[in-house]
């Protein structure tokens, strides 16, 4: 059984110290009792059900749809096809910025990937809509599907990720390799993965004239609002999105997807509210995925075991009709201090939906290859993998030459190693067995993720009854945002958390930016912090300018807020309740505003990243190749920790995904049809409880004075980096077999020729 040590949660807090407390989720009771309502739980009166008909081929044209048969089915109200769909104000194939992805909204009869929506059946019941979709009896003009990394001619993409250059180098890699006393070259492959949050994309859409109201999960409410405004030709102010809870997202709910828009179009067509929920297999196509990669690394070292060159080349896939390129090689920009580094990407176009951001896009794929290659280099040098990393990790970001804003990677290595017991690790592989004769292996991987910040706004209110409000359209994806952000809000308002009404999760509130890039706590948190400071400053103005106040003459800078009172900083005997200040001014409430954005000066001066080290133990059956991770210890330095319970939970989630990356997860593509053969949660393997080992996440202390005023770095994605490599390296240490194709499956340990 996994041993997850839970920190006891205080029911109440000391005033002014909400940040740092391991509070339990504020929405926990709602969730475990089923009272939390997710998008698909909404049933407005008169609501109809929409079901997608999707293509079973990956490339070609639709030649026949039996609309009459579907419409004749009892309960079917309407069948939406390219022939009759409502007009849009914008071509769904238009692309005016790199964050805008092309959508399939029944614009024509072309099929560009399997599971592409080609019609929507609207009916009085889910059953009737489902049966209606089956009765469409689709026929196709099929063209051969192009599948996999060698399907078409490769090219250098114009950019990777979001606007990163495809090719970057510093120093002369060829010279560094030529001068190396030892070098390795190895090629690794990672499989395509599909985001599968427990809650699939779902929408309940209702039109009232030109006003649109929707319930749908979103990681980026304002961006979704803007995209929908463009597509439907209405003002963003006429679009009201409610997204109080997401059942996970992992990037696939960052931007509004085609199926969600189809739900809105169906409601337009039907003139009634419509619900549309993706079936699990429909998640494998129109809502993004992590593309497969093939990565070749060349690494050289000198006689002292110091890196002389690091070359990281990636090949990946994108769709035939849009551009997203997994930036896998970019991980090599930041971790290891090689005097020569080169990274490059090439891509092929295949008949799939467009890949997209998926938890640590680039970092996750790149990290498993880089950490494997670093391990192979250490092995070639006869060095301990930890010792090798301690010798070679970067003190200054090698590709940019910038110092890190702060970095506690060495502490992560040493604290993690100590806790794990790494010093007892034999250097050679295949040396350890447990009492049952299973091979035991220990592996290490380095974790890193950039500390990003986007832009956000928040509104703060203090009321005369002693309570406060913080309003921001933040996103509760299950990660604990509504708890951690409420903690920041309470401290910002100088109140106990129970006195603060935290409003979030709708597009009518101030824009919280996107809950992505592990940047939500920093981005929304700083807007909240600044809104709190603004309202407190306004309140202090009232008091310090009023000769009836105990704070008269103290000046803004001389006032602190705590426990619903303002105090003179140097003389805490002089204080006054918020309620009394407001009351005397004849106000029932006072309002403040705050915003946040990355500081360009700090960003140009420093490289900003979180860091970590993950240690893995695996047991392998020597006869059957069966593998089970038995222990994971991760040590992470991610700036200020707002809520250690939520942070550990995020890190565990990432680490479990790392196990999944190394051993379980892959979309198996049918080379003939271009369909994923395992588009369901039975055959698309992810770790279940029995696959999850004892987990420990050490929160290494780190104060970063540059990243933002609160020192927050974010933890949503770093856990997946490092862990996958640690598990792969543990497999080698257990068996002596280096598997370079992920996920590592047991056949490769039985028949290493195939590895």
Q: Which residues bind ligand MOS (CB under 6 A)?
A: 219, 249-251, 254, 357-359, 361, 516-517
- Least distance to ligand MOS from the beta carbon of 716, Å? 7
Adjacency order of strands within the sheet including 168-170: 168-170, 341-350, 307-319, 293-301, 182-190, 741-742
Residue closer to ligand MOS (CB basis): 218 or 219: 219
Respond yes or no: is residue 174 known to be catalytic. no
Considering only CA atoms, which of 143, 120, 21 is closest in space to residue 71?
Answer: 120
Residues paired with residue 500 on neighbouring β-strands, in sequence order: 468
Residue closer to ligand MOS (CB basis): 288 or 639: 288
Strand ranges for 237-340 from DSSP E: 239-242, 274-277, 293-301, 307-319
Strand ranges for 152-200 from DSSP E: 168-170, 182-190
* Cβ pair 693, 631 in contact under 8 A: yes
Residue closer to ligand MOS (CB basis): 511 or 696: 511
- Least distance to ligand MOS from the beta carbon of 389, Å? 26
Q: In the 8-state DSSP scheme, what is residue 346?
A: E
CA end-to-end span of the chain, whole Å? 31
For residue 43, how many other CB atoms are within 10 A of its CB? 10
Considering only CA atoms, which of 314, 312, 327, 318 is closest in space to residue 348?
Answer: 318
Residue closer to ligand MOS (CB basis): 358 or 590: 358
With vertex at residue 679, the alpha carbon angle to CA 673 and CA 683, rounded to the nearest 5 degrees, is 115
With vertex at residue 281, the alpha carbon angle to CA 275 and CA 287, rounded to the nearest 5 degrees, is 70
- Least distance to ligand MOS from the beta carbon of 99, Å? 12
Burial of 58 (0-12, 13-18, 19+ CB in 10 A): buried
* Cβ pair 614, 445 in contact under 8 A: yes
- Least distance to ligand MOS from the beta carbon of 541, Å? 39
- Least distance to ligand MOS from the beta carbon of 148, Å? 23
Q: Which one from 346, 376, 696, 717 is the annotated catalytic residue?
A: 717
Burial of 180 (0-12, 13-18, 19+ CB in 10 A): buried
Q: Which two tokens stand for residue 238?
A: 């006429």
Residue closer to ligand MOS (CB basis): 176 or 517: 517
Residue closer to ligand MOS (CB basis): 361 or 634: 361
Residues paired with residue 121 on neighbouring β-strands, in sequence order: 51, 79
Residues paired with residue 445 on neighbouring β-strands, in sequence order: 614
With vertex at residue 422, the alpha carbon angle to CA 416 and CA 424, rounded to the nearest 5 degrees, is 155
- Least distance to ligand MOS from the beta carbon of 394, Å? 24
Pairwise CA distance, residues 645 & 65, whole Å: 52
Residue closer to ligand MOS (CB basis): 226 or 249: 249
- Least distance to ligand MOS from the beta carbon of 654, Å? 11
Considering only CA atoms, which of 460, 109, 157, 438 is closest in space to residue 324?
Answer: 157
- Least distance to ligand MOS from the beta carbon of 242, Å? 20
* Cβ pair 563, 496 in contact under 8 A: yes
Pairwise CA distance, residues 170 & 343, whole Å: 9
- Least distance to ligand MOS from the beta carbon of 250, Å? 6
- Least distance to ligand MOS from the beta carbon of 223, Å? 12
Burial of 296 (0-12, 13-18, 19+ CB in 10 A): middle
Cα 80 to Cα 121, 132, 271, 711: the distances in Å are 6, 11, 13, 50
Helix, strand, coil percentages, rounded to 5, for the chain:
30, 25, 45
Residue closer to ligand MOS (CB basis): 159 or 339: 159
Residue closer to ligand MOS (CB basis): 288 or 443: 288
Residue closer to ligand MOS (CB basis): 131 or 511: 511
Considering only CA atoms, which of 165, 127, 136 is closest in space to residue 49?
Answer: 127
SS3 443: strand
Matching residue, tokens 């994605």: 717
For residue 542, how many other CB atoms are within 10 A of its CB? 19
Pairwise CA distance, residues 78 & 95, whole Å: 30
- Least distance to ligand MOS from the beta carbon of 693, Å? 25
What's the distance, CA 424 to chain centroid? Answer: 35
Residue closer to ligand MOS (CB basis): 254 or 612: 254
Pairwise CA distance, residues 152 & 149, whole Å: 8
Residue closer to ligand MOS (CB basis): 157 or 249: 249
* Cβ pair 651, 491 in contact under 8 A: no
SS3 213: strand
* Cβ pair 396, 402 in contact under 8 A: yes
Residue closer to ligand MOS (CB basis): 250 or 502: 250
- Least distance to ligand MOS from the beta carbon of 481, Å? 12
Cα 721 to Cα 198, 225, 348, 661, 714: the distances in Å are 22, 32, 25, 10, 14
Pairwise CA distance, residues 72 & 193, whole Å: 39
Report the residue number whose CB is nearest to ligand MOS.
Answer: 251
- Least distance to ligand MOS from the beta carbon of 329, Å? 18
The catalytic residues are: 717
């Amino acid at each position: 059984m996994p041993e997850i040590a839970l920190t006891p949660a205080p029911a109440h807090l000391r005033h002014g110290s909400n940040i740092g407390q391991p509070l339990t989720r504020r929405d926990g009771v709602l969730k475990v009792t089923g009272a939390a309502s997710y998008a698909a739980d909404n049933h407005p009166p008169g609501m109809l059900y929409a079901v997608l008909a999707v293509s079973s081929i990956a490339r070609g044209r639709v030649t026949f749809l039996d609309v009459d048969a579907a419409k004749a089915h009892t309960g079917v109200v309407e069948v939406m096809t390219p022939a009759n769909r409502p007009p849009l104000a914008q071509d769904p194939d238009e692309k005016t910025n790199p964050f805008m992805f092309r959508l399939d909204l029944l614009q024509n009869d072309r099929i560009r990937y399997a599971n592409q929506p080609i019609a929507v059946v609207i009916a009085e019941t889910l059953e009737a809509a489902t049966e209606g979709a089956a009765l469409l009896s689709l026929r196709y003009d099929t063209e051969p599907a192009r599948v996999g990394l060698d399907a078409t001619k490769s090219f250098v993409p114009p950019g990777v990720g979001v606007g990163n250059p495809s090719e970057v180098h510093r120093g002369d890699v060829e010279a560094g390799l030529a001068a190396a006393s030892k070098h390795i070259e190895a090629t690794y492959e990672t499989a395509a993965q599909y985001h599968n949050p427990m809650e699939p994309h779902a929408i309940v859409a209702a039109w009232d004239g030109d006003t649109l109201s929707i319930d749908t999960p979103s990681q980026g409410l304002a961006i979704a609002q803007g995209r929908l405004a463009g597509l439907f030709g209405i003002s963003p102010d006429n679009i009201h999105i409610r997204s109080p809870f997401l059942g996970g997202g992992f990037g696939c709910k960052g931007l509004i997807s085609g199926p969600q828009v189809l739900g809105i179009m169906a409601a337009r067509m039907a003139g009634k509210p419509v619900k549309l929920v993706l079936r699990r297999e429909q998640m494998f196509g129109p809502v993004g995925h992590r593309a497969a990669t093939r990565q070749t690394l060349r690494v050289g070292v000198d006689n002292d075991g110091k890196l002389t060159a690091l070359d990281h080349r990636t090949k990946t896939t994108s769709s035939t009709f849009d551009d997203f390129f997994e930036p896998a090689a970019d991980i090599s920009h930041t971790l290891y201090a090689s005097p020569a580094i080169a990274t490059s990407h090439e891509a092929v176009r295949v008949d799939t939906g467009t890949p997209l951001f998926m938890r640590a896009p680039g970092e996750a794929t790149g990290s498993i290859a880089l950490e494997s290659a670093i391990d192979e280099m250490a092995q070639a040098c006869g060095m301990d993998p930890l010792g090798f990393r301690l010798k070679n990790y970067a003190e200054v970001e090698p590709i940019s030459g910038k110092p890190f804003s702060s970095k506690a990677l060495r502490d992560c290595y040493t604290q993690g190693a100590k806790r794990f017991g790494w010093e007892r690790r034999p250097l050679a592989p295949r040396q350890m067995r447990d009492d049952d004769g299973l091979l035991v292996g220990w592996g290490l991987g380095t974790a890193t993720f950039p500390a990003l910040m986007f832009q956000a706004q928040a509104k703060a209110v203090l009321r005369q009854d002693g309570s406060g409000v913080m309003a921001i359209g933040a996103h509760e994806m299950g990660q604990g945002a509504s708890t951690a952000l409420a903690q920041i809000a309470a401290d910002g308002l100088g109140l106990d958390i129970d006195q603060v009404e935290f409003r979030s999760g709708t597009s009518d509130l101030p824009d919280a930016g996107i809950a992505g890039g592990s940047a939500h706590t920093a981005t929304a948190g700083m807007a909240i912090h600044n809104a709190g400071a603004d309202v407190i400053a306004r309140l202090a103005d009232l008091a310090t300018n009023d000769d009836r106040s105990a704070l008269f003459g103290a000046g803004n800078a001389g006032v602190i807020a705590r426990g619903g009172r303002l105090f003179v900083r140097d003389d805490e005997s002089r204080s006054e309740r918020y309620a009394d200040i407001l009351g005397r001014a004849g106000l029932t409430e006072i309002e403040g505003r705050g915003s946040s954005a990355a500081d360009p000066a700090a960003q140009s001066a420093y490289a900003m990243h979180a860091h970590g080290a993950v240690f893995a133990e695996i047991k392998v059956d020597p006869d059957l190749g069966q593998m089970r991770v038995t222990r994971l210890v991760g040590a992470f330095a991610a700036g200020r920790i707002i809520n250690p319970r939520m942070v550990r939970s995020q890190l565990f989630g990432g680490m479990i995904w790392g196990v999944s990356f190394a051993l379980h997860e892959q979309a198996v593509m049918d080379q003939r049809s271009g369909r994923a053969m395992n588009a369901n949660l039975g055959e698309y393997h992810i770790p279940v409880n029995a696959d999850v080992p004892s987990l420990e996440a050490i929160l290494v202390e780190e104060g970063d004075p540059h990243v933002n005023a609160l020192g927050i770095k974010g933890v949503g994605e770093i856990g997946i980096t490092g862990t996958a490599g640690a598990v792969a390296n543990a497999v080698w240490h257990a068996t002596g077999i280096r598997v370079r194709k992920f996920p590592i499956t047991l056949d490769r340990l039985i028949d290493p020729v195939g590895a």
